[in-house]
Amino acid sequence: MLGYCNVAIETLVAEPSAVVRTGPLDTVTLRRYLRAADLGWAPLHDSGANRGRFPLKLSTYMEAGLPFVTTAVGDLGDFLRRYPAGLAADPNAAAVAATTISLLSNPEQALWLGTMGRAFAEAELSWTQVSVEVERVYRQLLMQRSLHIKRIRKRKN
């Protein structure tokens, strides 16, 4: 397990000694460790909190060119249809395990997904591109607000 995790995974697996925890990592070390991995993993339980969030570790995996397995919770299924960088399993242990084994058994698919994820992270989903889009949305909202205020003032006059 890379980085901090507050879940005692060791108590949930058949071989607790197989769980290796790194603890918190700096960015350089995290990237080095990710390059040694075959895939990233971000299974989410289907809960209200998880339906309304995007796990940032998926962005980290994509930046590293690492294919990943997650669960089709919230918008993640739609996200992966638009940006095929990983696979989304149904949110249950058997489906996550089967999807993980399938991806590990298909290195060509894993390479393609990782390559696609890296390409998306460098282009359309880069922080530079995302910030341009956020600024565009804010400007559009400000313009709409300004027009709305002008209409209200015009009615008063």
pLDDT digits (tens, 9 = 90+) for 59-97: 999 999 999 999 999 999 999 999 999 999 999 999 999
pLDDT tens per residue across span 40-49: 999 999 999 9
Which residue in 47, 105, 106, 35 sits closest to 71, CA to CA? 47
pLDDT tens per residue across span 96-140: 999 999 999 999 999 999 999 999 999 988 888 889 999 999 999
Model confidence, pTM: 0.79
Q: What is the mean pLDDT of residues 6-27?
A: 92
pLDDT of residue 125: 86
Sign of the Cα torsion 140, 145, 149, 152 reads positive
Which residue in 89, 92, 53 sits closest to 71, CA to CA? 89
Q: Out of 20-24, 44-48, 106-110, 150-154, which region has the weakest mean confidence (pLDDT)?
A: 150-154
In 3-state terms the chain splits into helix, strand, coil percentages (rounded to 5) of 60, 10, 30
Dist. CA 40–CA 61, nearest whole Å = 6
- Are the C-beta atoms of 50 and 74 separated by less than 8 Å? yes
Q: Can you spell out the DSSP letters for 7-19?
A: S-GGGGSS-GGG-
Dist. CA 22–CA 19, nearest whole Å = 10
